[in-house]
Structure 1
C-alpha cells in the first residue's frame, strides 16, 4: 500500500523523462504527473515542439546526456525504443539517478542482469514499468483466484487480440532489435502469468508473421506447463495477434469447481491514447464485468457476474515514489525484471527450435 499523501516530504521527487514517442507521451508523462509528490522537470527529446505543446514550461533537453547532467533530477524514466533501454539506463545509473525503464526491460537477460548488478552496487532504485499489473480486469482476476470460488485453477488463457491489418512505418514493426509482438505484448502477458502462478516448468512458443508485408512476428501463441508446485497440474495459454477482428475473451479461467470469463480490455490505454490524463470518478473503471459459474454442494450451480475492481496505472508510479522515499518496496524489483527477460529469451529460443524448453530453476522473488 502506498503512503498517505499527507506524510510526503515538502520537496517533491523530481523526474526526467527520456523519449517522447508513443510510450513517453501516452503512458509515462501523463501518468507520473498525476502522482502527488512527483514532478516532471525535464524531457529529453528530438521533438521539442511536440513536448512543449503538451507540457508548456517543462524544459526540453537535446539528449539523455544533458538530462543526466542536471543536479535537479532524482529519477530518470526511459521510454525510448527497446534497443536503447540498456545503454541509457546504464548511463543514468552511472550518473547516480534512480531509474524506471519501460517494458521490455532490455534486449536480453544478459543486459538485464548487468543493470540489476549496477543498480545494486550504486544503491539506486531500478524498476520496470509493468503497468498491466494495475489493470482493472487483472486485479479482479487475481481476486477471483484468491477467493477460491472456482477451486484449483487447471486451465487459463490470456489474450491481447487486436485488429491492425496494416503494417505501420514504426520501429516496433520493423526488422530491428527489440521489435516484434512477443517482447511487446508478451512482456505483459508473461509477467501477469508469473505473478499469478509463478514460473512454469516448461514454455513452448509459436510465432508467425501473418500480415501482408510483415517484417517481424505479429502473432504468438505460448503454452506454459505447470507440473509441480501449488497449482499443478495447470496449463496456461498466452496469445496475441494483430488480425482478430472478433477478439477472444481477455481471460478464460477454468477450475475444479467453476469458470470465470472476462471480455473486453481495461479502459486506461484507450483513455490515454485519446489524450485524457488520469483522474476523475470514472478513471480505470471497466464497465464490462466478468462472468462466473460455480458448481457447489449437491450440484447447485451459481451463475453471475463479477464487477471489476478499479484499475489505476498511477498506483505504479506512486509505489515508485514510496520506494525512492524508502517507505515501501519497489513495485517491480530488478530480480523480477531479470526473471521475466530470461523467460522472454527462452520463448525466442523455443520458437526457433520448435519445442518446449525448461527455464532456469531459480525462483522468482
Structure 2
C-alpha cells in the first residue's frame, strides 16, 4: 500500500519559493501536495501567491501553519535571519522541515536544531541542492573512476562580476538584524518594521550565500577537515565594509586524515565578485594521474527562472551545453568528457522518500509486535541514513564558514 502525498506548506513567496521549491513540489505530486503558502504581505484583495495558485490557501501568520494538523512538511524559504526561530517552532509543532541554506546564522543554532529534529523523530532537510549540479556530478564520477589518482589540489569557484552595490536582495548584504521578539516572528510582521535594531551578526555576505554551496560540496567529497584558513572580505569597498562580498576558504586535509590519503590536500572554495572571465572558472582539480578543468555554471537555475514548473519536466532540464563540457587531462593528453545531467529533483525525491517513511501517525513507544498497519510499518522501518543532506552536515558547513571568518579576522589558520 503506497503512502498518500504529504501535505506541504511553503513559508515565503519570493524567488526561493517560486523558482526553487514550488515547481518541484508540484512536479512530484505523487509524493507531495502543496496546500498552504505563507505570504506576509497578502491581503483580502491582493496576493501574489493567491493569483499564482488560486487553489492553495494563503495565510499571513506562521501560527496558522503551526496550528494546521493536516500539514506534515513545511518549507522555510524566508530570509536567513528567520530560519532558526521558524524551524524550531515548526519542529516543536511536530512537523517535518525543509529549510533553505544556510540553515541558521550560527553553527550552534544549527546543531541545536539537528538535535531537536532527532529527538522528535522528525526530518530536517537543508536545501544544499548544488550537490546535484551537472558539473559536480561529473566531477564525482571522474573521482569515483580514479581518473585523477590521488588529489593534490582542489579548487571550486563561484565567481561573478558585479562592480556595484546590490539594488535587490539587500538583506544578503546587511550586517544583520536582531528581531524584537519571537511573537513578531510567529506573526510574520513585515520585515521593514523590524529593521530598527541592527547588530554585527553572522549569516550575511557571500560566504554564507554562495560559499555554503561550495563548502558543502567539499565536505561531501572529503569529510571534515583538520583545519581552516580563510580570507573573507569586502573586496570592492562598496556598501557596508563589514559585509563580505568575496571569500577564499582553504580546508586542510593532511595525509593522516580520515580520507586515507597519502598526499596532503588543500581543498579551496573561492568566490570572487570581480571576475570578468567568460565563461567563469568552476573546477580546477589536479592529481597524480590527471587533472580536470571545468568552466561555466550548472544550467538548472537559469532554466527554472525562465520556465519554473514547465522546465522541471522538460527533457533538456539539467543538460549542460557541449561547449561547457569539462576537460580531462591525462598523460596521453586532454579531451572533453560528457557531462552528467543535473538533477535537483533528486534532492526533493530523497526528502519525500524520507518524509513519507517518517509519517506522523503514532509515537514509536506505542508500537506493538502485532501492530501491522501500513502506518506503523512505515514508522518501524524509518531510516535516517536515507537523508542525503543531513542537518548535521549543514551545521558543519556553517561551522567551517565561521572558522574561515575567524581565520580572516585573526590572520591565522584555525584548527578544528
TM-score (norm 2): 0.80
Alignment of 1:174-323 (within 5 A): 174-176=174-176, 177=201, 178-211=203-236, 213-215=238-240, 216-227=243-254, 228-229=256-257, 230-231=260-261, 232-247=263-278, 248-277=280-309, 278-287=312-321, 288-295=324-331, 301-323=332-354
Alignment of 1:1-365 (within 5 A): 8-9=2-3, 11-35=4-28, 36-48=30-42, 49-169=47-167, 170-176=170-176, 177=201, 178-211=203-236, 213-215=238-240, 216-227=243-254, 228-229=256-257, 230-231=260-261, 232-247=263-278, 248-277=280-309, 278-287=312-321, 288-295=324-331, 301-326=332-357, 329-359=386-416
User: Do the aligned residues in 2 keep the contact of 1:167 with 1:211 (CA within 8 Å)?
Assistant: no
How far the C-alpha of 1:47 sits from its partner, in A, is 3.8
How far the C-alpha of 1:33 sits from its partner, in A, is 2.1
Could you tell me which runs of 5 or more consecutive residues in structure 1 were left unpaired when the two chains were aligned. 1-6, 296-300, 360-365
Determine the C-alpha separation between the residues in 2 that align with 1:271 and 1:166. 26
Determine the C-alpha separation between the residues in 2 that align with 1:191 and 1:286. 22
How far the C-alpha of 1:212 sits from its partner, in A, is 5.1
- Name the SS of the counterpart of 2:22 in structure 1: helix
Determine the C-alpha separation between the residues in 2 that align with 1:211 and 1:25. 31
Determine the C-alpha separation between the residues in 2 that align with 1:133 and 1:58. 30
Aligned to 1:363: none
- Name the SS of the counterpart of 1:237 in structure 2: strand
User: Do the aligned residues in 2 keep the contact of 1:19 with 1:45 (CA within 8 Å)?
Assistant: yes
The structure having more radius of gyration, on CA atoms, is: 2
User: Do the aligned residues in 1 keep the contact of 2:228 with 2:413 (CA within 8 Å)?
Assistant: yes
Aligned to 2:198: none
How far the C-alpha of 1:40 sits from its partner, in A, is 1.1
Could you tell me which runs of 5 or more consecutive residues in structure 2 were left unpaired when the two chains were aligned. 177-200, 358-381
How far the C-alpha of 1:325 sits from its partner, in A, is 2.0
User: Do the aligned residues in 2 keep the contact of 1:136 with 1:308 (CA within 8 Å)?
Assistant: yes
Structure 1 runs (4+) deviating above 3 angstroms are: none
Q: Aligned-residue CA RMSD in angstroms?
A: 1.6
How far the C-alpha of 1:32 sits from its partner, in A, is 2.4
